[in-house]
Amino acid sequence: MATSSGGSPTAVDGPTLHIRGPVLVGPAEVLDEVWVVGGRISLTAPTGDAARDIRTVTGWALPGLVDAHCHVGLDGHGAVDQPTAEQQILADRATGALLLRDAGSPADTRWVDERPDLPKLIRAGRHIARTRRYIRNYAAEVEPDDLVTEVLTQSGRGDGWIKLVGDWIDRDLGDLAACWPPEVAKAAIDAAHAAGARVTAHCFAEAALADLVEAGIDCIEHATGLTTDTIPLFAERRVAIVPTLVNIATFENIARGAEAKFPAYAAHMRALHARRYDTIGAAWDAGIPIYVGTDAGGSLPHGLVAAEVAELRRAGLPAESALAAATWSARAWLGHPALAEGAPADLVLYPADPRADLAVLAAPDLVILRGQPIAA
């Protein structure tokens, strides 16, 4: 077993496979066939020893799907043990999600990197939140004066990403409010960039968005607070969003549990929920980059990528664009190849064209991870 440049093990002794497609190499490129040789994609037929024993598999082939916002090693109460985390990531693998961006976890999941049978995991370290302004046991909690120091600490735990909690309920205010003064956010984002990390932030509401974009942030999670004022700013700066609409569906339950004590917060959450599709549709129309993420691992189970793609379609993204948000464009954004010559052979095969029917994504026929076939 070898180790890929991304830090995860890559199988080099797997079977030689002949993938008879259509193979959706990119949004506008379809091949009739590709091969898997030594755990990597080959666009030409193998020769010599590699051609002696070839297994042929057929189907509509896509690059391994991407969940750009999940939490491996986390549940509703905090960090989970390794067997539980393993079941989480196996649930992702079963649905064809083979590249995961872990958007904050208190658990040490470095053991995943030694497992060639598990998806590639890109970490953002631990969430960074204001003191008592986030879910208990999730985040490294600091006050503004210590934010830059904590960002540098978490950059050492991550794989090129930092996750801030940009807004949360302020109990004195009784509603969602920004967590960081603008100048502090800018200093923290500058420090992360100097350390070679990109920065994303949890944001449900409106208040923090413009300041975070002006501070140079790279991505916003959820982004339900986008408005006609901030959408053009995001589009101009090319700040990506990961809407996690399958999680936004829980806002009504959150509001119901909070309305007795925090009625303004409950009403705000309901309003954000009610306009969620219009918000994300307007973001797409404006040209804001959008990627698939599920927020699995807190209150939601893993393995929801197909459901999130369907939600983006409901929000107005064209079917091929919603698909790209979980495949080609998401992989390019995260710096990992799709089905290119020499790329790790991470593919998912389906019985029909997923471009014509996104529901096909929910039931893959075969998952191939680093060249190894895994029954779906």
The 10s digit of each residue's pLDDT in 100-129 is: 999 999 999 999 999 999 999 999 999 999
Q: List CB contacts of 294: < 8 A, sequence separation 6 or more.
A: 67, 69, 70, 244, 246, 247, 300, 302, 304, 305, 307, 308
Taking phi first (over 0 means left), then psi (-120 to 50 degrees means alpha), and beta for anything else, what does residue 341 get?
beta
CATH of 65-330, one of 3.20.20.140, 3.30.1600.10, 3.30.70.270, 1.10.287.70: 3.20.20.140
Residue 40 backbone phi and psi in degrees, to 5: -130, 160
pLDDT grade for 215, boundaries at 50, 70 and 90? very high
Residue 9 has pLDDT above 80, yes or no: no
d(CA 180, CA 166): 7
Residue 342 has pLDDT above 90, yes or no: yes
d(CA 143, CA 132): 10
Q: Contact 251/269 with Cβ under 8 angstroms?
A: yes
Q: Which one-letter DSSP state was computed for residue 116?
A: T
Residue 169 backbone phi and psi in degrees, to 5: -65, 130
User: Over the stretch 344-356, which tens digit does the pLDDT of each residue have?
Assistant: 999 999 999 999 9
Closest by CA to 141, choosing from 173, 179, 171, is 179
Question: The whole model's pTM is what?
Answer: 0.95
Lowest mean pLDDT among 49-58, 101-110, 224-233, 244-253: 49-58
Residue 151 has pLDDT above 50, yes or no: yes
**What CATH fold (topology level) applies to the domain 2-63+338-375?**
Urease, subunit C; domain 1 (2.30.40)
Average pLDDT, integer, range 37-59 = 93
Q: Contact 330/68 with Cβ under 8 angstroms?
A: yes
pLDDT grade for 52, boundaries at 50, 70 and 90? confident
Peptide bond into 263 cis (omega under 30): no
User: Over the stretch 17-44, which tens digit does the pLDDT of each residue have?
Assistant: 999 999 999 988 999 999 999 999 999 9
User: Over the stretch 263-280, which tens digit does the pLDDT of each residue have?
Assistant: 999 999 999 999 999 999
d(CA 353, CA 160): 34
pLDDT score at 8: 53
Residue 7 has pLDDT above 60, yes or no: no
Domain boundaries, the chain: 2-63+338-375, 65-330
Residue 6 has pLDDT above 50, yes or no: no
